Amino acid sequence: MEKDLLSRNGFKFKKQYGQNFLSDKNLLGAIARDSGAAGETVLEIGAGAGALTLALCEIAARVVSFEIDRSLQDVLKETLNGRENVQIVFRDFMKEDLSSLEEKLGKYLVCANLPYYVTTPVVMKFVEESKNCRSLTLMVQEEVARRFCAKAGTPDYGAVTAAIARRGEAKLLRKVSKDMFTPRPKVDSAVVRLDFQRGGFEVKSAECFKKTLRIAFSSRRKTLENNLMAGLSLSRGEAKELLGEAGIEEGVRGETLPPEELGALSDHIFDAFGE
């Protein structure tokens, strides 16, 4: 890490913002290329000292990067000196209205070494709200990357996996050792790619799908039938009927159903009850 750059500018790491910076130019170049940034508009969340931002600027048409910590202003000015295709926005990305941001961006992709404390909320914001986002290439904790890419019936599979699968394909691209970060975090990381242009499936109502996932995974030890009874205030007979209509066998647990089958169940719930 360019400790010089940071200390010269009086910067102090803030744990509460998930500040674990990268500096290896080969790795940063590889992540930028992994994301397909060449010639594209790229949105970054968490510019930090600007190391990934710079790698993106080198190949992208335009980079817009959010950073919550204003004390990085001078550091970023120095790192990105002379770059004309970059805009740093000093705001909390979680408070940003994605649809008005997307109006300004047009079609874009996301590339980010995410602050770990907001990984899932950031991903869910794109899964639920984005219209123009082609893909997200994200550095996340390895365990989280496995959850995003998990197959139904495995311990890592959950509501987040299925929610992502509705929008596209999730793929683990590369593992990254904790030694690559400053300061060094406790666990290893991985780069994962969520491709909204491959895979994915339609549901009648995204809101109802979200509710269906909440119910299906509400109590992992219970059968789907029992979770449906509790979640939708149904009698056993009604829950059995709903499962029958969706072509789902009795006695299964939600976590064994692939995302598409949960989508089909959601459509039946929507037909029967609306949102």
Binding residues for ligand SAM, rule: CB under 6 A, are 17-22, 45-49, 51-52, 66-69, 92-94, 113, 115, 118
Q: Which is nearer to ligand SAM, 69 or 225 (CB)?
A: 69
Burial 84-118 (b: 16+ CB within 10 A, else e): eebebbeeebeeeebeebbeebeebbbbbbbbbeb
Nearest distance in Å: CB 162, ligand SAM: 25
Residue closer to ligand SAM by CB (options 36, 115) is: 115
Of 121 and 155, nearer to ligand SAM (C-beta) is: 121
In this structure, what token pair is assigned to residue 275? 């949102």
Closest distance between ligand SAM and the C-beta of residue 95, in Å? 8
Q: State both tokens at 222.
A: 């219970």
Which of 18/29 has CB closer to ligand SAM? 18
Residue placing its CB nearer to ligand SAM in the complex, 135 or 266:
135
Q: How far is the CB of 14 from ligand SAM (least distance, A)?
A: 7
Q: Shortest approach of ligand SAM to residue 109 CB, angstroms?
A: 15
| H helix intervals, the chain | 3-8, 25-34, 51-59, 73-79, 98-105, 119-129, 142-149, 159-167, 206-216, 224-232, 236-245, 259-273
Q: How far is the CB of 185 from ligand SAM (least distance, A)?
A: 9
Q: What is the DSSP string of 51-120?
A: HHHHHHHHH-SEEEEE-S-GGGHHHHHHHTTT-SSEEEE-S-GGGS-HHHHHHHH-SEEEEEE--GGGHH
Q: How many CB atoms lie within 10 A of CB 165?
A: 25
In the bound state with ligand SAM, the residue whose beta carbon lies nearer, of 35 and 227, is: 35
